[in-house]
Structure 1
Amino acid sequence: MNETEHANTHRDNRPRESRQMPVPPGLAGMRVDAGVAKLLGLSRTAVAELAVAGDISIDGRTVGKSDRLEEDAWLSVLLPPVETSLVPKEELIEGMEVLYHDSDLVAVHKPVGVAAHPSVGWEGPTVVGGLAAAGFRISTSGPPERQGIVQRLDVGTSGVMVVACSERGYSVLKRAFKNRDVSKTYHALVQGHPDPSTGTIDAPIGRHPSAGWRFAVRQDGKHAVTHYETLEAFAQASLVKVTLETGRTHQIRVHFSALNHPCCGDPMYGSDPALSKRLGLTRQWLHAVSLGFHHPADGRWMEIECPYPDDLSHALDVLRKG
């Protein structure tokens, strides 16, 4: 049975979408609020409210927020209403460090659990809201909820992210990302040992045929190329350096999962829950370590680096100690 998406309506006539899919193995046993939040990128509070309203069912049975997910059970979720406008909530964000800033741009270390900008169903912190609360002026270019945004990182991925502060910064950086005139380097901890230890994954990516909320290597997908190099090998996992030629959604996670080497801590794409628990991971081990681009004002090449956060460093320490 394939995932279905259809417009529904809330009592105030705002459109709503329904998502239906099997529960992936990595989320089996999790509470409904925690598992669905991880699965669909919603806040746990938003999912809890959906459960209270009777908008979540498993195998046709309405469930509460504290019920448990069962592997391969059929999950149905009626998403929150689509908002007509999304305004970033201004709030200081713990752990969001400013790595560089000037009148054209600001580069930050985006922590895990923070979205780039507001979106439907996301009630958590955002980079643009955090910068506004910290007193940074952001470019007014782009849709209202995405002003200044020239790139994005997934909520569950940490690392360096740049936001435009001026109109010049927005137009130049937006064009650079579109034309792939930037250098994006990630580190990922993947299960097992990729063979060869250094190589290129050239495989098209599209929406998964039975779960449109995630992606997969598909013959009819969009062109996607990932280069990798093993930096350190452990008994159960490998730390790899990754550079991207393309920027497809979940590209690194999908490509390594297709090789049977999913990112550690990534149940959506097949990670081992026992290893994740041993490493203390509650999210995928994936970090944007550096970002290179030509400065919008004078064209000089800039390379901004971002250290590992504590949870990712801890996982490596566990592996190094054997």
Structure 2
Amino acid sequence: MTGQIRGELRTVPVPDGLAGMRVDQAIARLFGLSRTVAADLVADGAVVLDGSAPAKSDRVHPGAYLEVTLPAPESAEAIVAAPVDGLVVVYADDDIVVVDKPVGVAAHPSPGWTGPTVLAGLAAMGQTVATSGAAERQGIVHRLDVGTSGLMVVAKSEHAYSILKRAFKVRTVEKRYHAVVQGHLDPFRGTIDAPIDRHPTHDYKWAVVSGGKNSVTHYDTVEAFPAASLVDVRLETGRTHQIRVHFSALRHPCVGDLTYGADPTLSRRLGLSRQWLHARELAFDHPSSGDRVRFTSEYPEDLAHALRVLRGED
């Protein structure tokens, strides 16, 4: 961010829970930004703390006033239709479109991301989406990481957007993932109940942190190999990087997930350049009919190849 500052001016008091935090960290927490974007805002003079321009490392105290000029979001018109290789529409009607998202594709535009997005791909297919939601992520009711493949549902009607957002909030949507994790889980079937929040020192990572958001992951071992296990995962909550963080905290990171401690030698042997994690199944009540609908996605070739190597087939 350089040059003239444009966007929305927000003035907020610092809450007690952020006492003693660095300015960039406090801004990231308050407005849901990455620490990098928050630091850029401070450097560009878009932040005022109690009437003065702070340094990003200055500390905030309760009751102080932060004035932040947030960057203007991309408008809906700024989403340029662009075909996305490998993006498949599994199902579509007037209310919803269910897609099978390939690896390397983001759900929607975001600061710093210049690669393909689900919304741009849908626009290229002639699929319109609901106008509800922030301008750059209209119709999006949940997301998958760029490095995670599999099923996503996007709302096409305003009615569907409202119903699906609530369904995700009250946890009536069933989200099942398959993951290959290092080693063997003990017990083979169980629940990980550990709070997650931003990593205390790395703004691009998340971690199990005391006082973080409630996060619950259920898992069941499907198949065990000498060096790894294929597990079926059901999410009760939907935190950013939840599966990756939870299994890493157990010292069984997703194979290929170098960000969260995976063995690079094993990753190379399996030919993986990303985490072995796939959104396998998605089930929810259709927003108009109320009928339960269920969708399943097959493994993409990179994950299928890694499994064959683990089984000794390749």
- Shorter-chain TM-score category? 0.7 to 0.9
Instruction: Kindly indicate whether residue 164 of structure 2 is the aligned counterpart of residue 176 of structure 1.
Output: no
Bigger Rg over Cα: 2
Is the CA contact 1:82–1:120 (under 8 Å) kept in the aligned structure 2? Answer: no
Matched residue, 1:288? 279
1:11 corresponds, among 3, 19, 25, to 3
Is the CA contact 1:224–1:245 (under 8 Å) kept in the aligned structure 2? Answer: yes
Larger relative contact order, structure 1 or 2 (CA cutoff 8 Å, min sep 6):
1
- Cα deviations by residue, 1:100-154 (Å, 9 ceiling, x for unpaired): 1111000000111100000011111110110011011111111111111111101
Q: How does 1:298-309 map to 2 (within 5 A)?
A: 298-309=289-300
Matched residue, 1:23? none
Q: 1:84 to 1:141 in 2, by over 3 A?
A: closer
The one-letter amino acid of 1:229's match is: D
Distance across 2 between alignment mates of 1:82 and 1:311: 37
Matched residue, 1:85? 74
Instruction: Kindly indicate whether residue 161 of structure 2 is the aligned counterpart of residue 163 of structure 1.
Output: no
The one-letter amino acid of 1:88's match is: I
Q: Secondary structure at the match of 1:314?
A: helix
Gaps of 5+ in 1: 1-8, 21-39, 43-80
Task: Give the share of equivalent positions with the same residue, in percent.
Answer: 60
Count of aligned pairs between the two proteins? 254
Instruction: Kindly indicate whether residue 100 of structure 2 is the aligned counterpart of residue 105 of structure 1.
Output: no
Is the CA contact 2:148–2:278 (under 8 Å) kept in the aligned structure 1? Answer: yes
The one-letter amino acid of 2:247's match is: F
The one-letter amino acid of 2:74's match is: S
Distance across 2 between alignment mates of 1:211 and 1:120: 18
Distance across 2 between alignment mates of 1:289 and 1:126: 20
Is the CA contact 1:14–1:82 (under 8 Å) kept in the aligned structure 2? Answer: yes
The one-letter amino acid of 1:192's match is: G
Give the alignment's TM-score, normalised by structure 2: 0.77
Distance across 2 between alignment mates of 1:251 and 1:95: 25
The one-letter amino acid of 1:251's match is: Q
Distance across 1 between alignment mates of 2:241 and 2:81: 27
* 1:89 positional shift: 2.5
Distance across 1 between alignment mates of 2:73 and 2:142: 23
Distance across 2 between alignment mates of 1:91 and 1:310: 23
- Cα deviations by residue, 1:10-44 (Å, 9 ceiling, x for unpaired): 134469xx999xxxxxxxxxxxxxxxxxxx9x9xx
Matched residue, 2:65? none
Q: Secondary structure at the match of 1:212?
A: coil
2:266 corresponds, among 265, 275, 282, to 275
The one-letter amino acid of 1:295's match is: H
Distance across 1 between alignment mates of 2:134 and 2:227: 44
Give the alignment's TM-score, normalised by structure 1: 0.75
* 1:82 positional shift: 4.5
